[in-house]
Structure 1
Amino acid sequence: MQDNCVRADRKSGAAQVTHRALNVTTLDGVSLSGMHLPGPGGDTALAVCHGFTHHTRLPVTRVVLEALSGQAPVVALDMRGHGRSGGRTTVGDRELLDLDAAVRWARDAGYSRVATVGFSLGAAVALRQATAGTVRPDAVVAVSGPARWYSRETPAMRRVHWLLEQPHGRAVARLLGVRLDSAWDVVPPSPVEVVAAVAPVPLLLVHFAGDHYFSAAHPEALAAASGGHAQLWTEPGEGHGESGTGPELAERIALWALAAASSAIPGERTNGGGSTVGPRTPAERRAPGSEVG
């Protein structure tokens, strides 16, 4: 591991924070790169999962990581197909193994409690990891996450699907630094299908009122499907994911995650029996009532 110094502008001015570079291998053999940012003392770490096209060295993402680390230690990995990590992105399917690797690393590093914080695509991954990962988190925060796959309700999401589905779009994705895997052979369960299974782990949903990717129908559907378990914050502004999360909101999220994790029963390793990434049939990998055909 390598120690480095990074700088980020906060409300109090530029702050210098030491981080440790990480190299972690997922259970399916993908090499991931990222960082560990030490934070205030305590036994709780935040495992952060970035959004599509983001990575841990992207300035807007780094500002959020720095703000979170002002309240707690942070473990953040570039998802497969992003940044310096290997592999190709499956856009929400096997990425749960990436976040699982971050949670597992934090546990092995000595943190007795780990809260996961996901942004946009990472929010969907955080919900799936909490229900199907091998290491259950102690709290979950999902910022700007979709309720359903294949959402095309906004121009921004129609552009995303063009990137994912059209040959020219996939070429543009490479220019954006994203390496795409082939299309899904089997559709994984959508976030709205799995959110109820997050309980009893505390869950916070964060949505921006003017989000230009996902309407308020997404967090509202997730909150309803959670059976009243999830807490929902609707924040002002037109932001989305990390791009909408300023230092003040990031600090509030970190404080919520710390309080929620400390009130939960410490997470345990599981056998991953609920994983959706194994060789299972479409019927087994899609919950009853799925919105996908």
Structure 2
Amino acid sequence: MVHFSFLSESSPGCVASSGSSTWWTNASPPDLVTAIKEAHSKGENILSVSVANDGDWFLSTDSVNRKKPGNDPMTSRVLRFCHVATMKTGRETGLGNIAWITFTPDGQGFIGVVGHDGVAHCVFEKLPKTLDDHLKTHNKQSQMKMVSIGHKNSWAIVYEDGDMSVEGISTSLVDKLKNVRSVGFNVESIILSPSTISNFVVTYENGASHYDVPYAWKSGIDNQISLCQQNYQQIKAMNNAAMLRLSRAAMESAAMVANAQASAAYYQSFGNF
């Protein structure tokens, strides 16, 4: 799937990554671009990226998590997130414990998931009231795959079981999600723009995506989607080949057992000497 993050309303742009490759618009924070380049130079695959309205950011790869340089918890939302997570879980929470973070468009709040000893904990602060109320009245916080918060307090949640919850999103996106569900597509993420309710990105398990973004971004995003689909097909082909090998091995094993049983029965037919 494409890992995607819109930039702030004041500096419209985006970051899109297929995992092994990443494209970004010119408004992306320079230190985030540096971190992405460093990650790829080390052969790391991007797992998630989130950018706040003032250029603060969080980047997760299959090897390590990174944040915007600086250790002042008064200015670093990631450090603030870690502090809130420590208070909520009762466990010291560091950068490495974070699975993902989503920042609110106004920069005041956040929501994310941290892990301790294999247990996921949802952590949030200063969210839109409708989202805050939803989280406090539903018992699926630890099962959230992702959360996006967009323009005018719109939001979307995708759960690990494939279920979705949305609020305040555009009619076109509602229709898109209904169509997707009707054909059985598995949604991986729904990313909402902080700038306008009409812009969004929906990603699927098979690497495909649907989106509505400024035309100038289309080529860069399409390239990352294409890479994701290629990766998905390669993984699918490898899995199919592995399943075929296992199936053949099972058939050969069954044939050997059957032959052995037949031989034993043949010799037993002569009786004991």
- The TM-score normalised by the length of structure 1 is 0.23
Structure showing greater relative contact order (alpha-carbon pairs closer than 8 Å, 6 or more residues apart): 1
Radius of gyration: which is bigger? 2
- The TM-score normalised by the length of structure 2 is 0.24
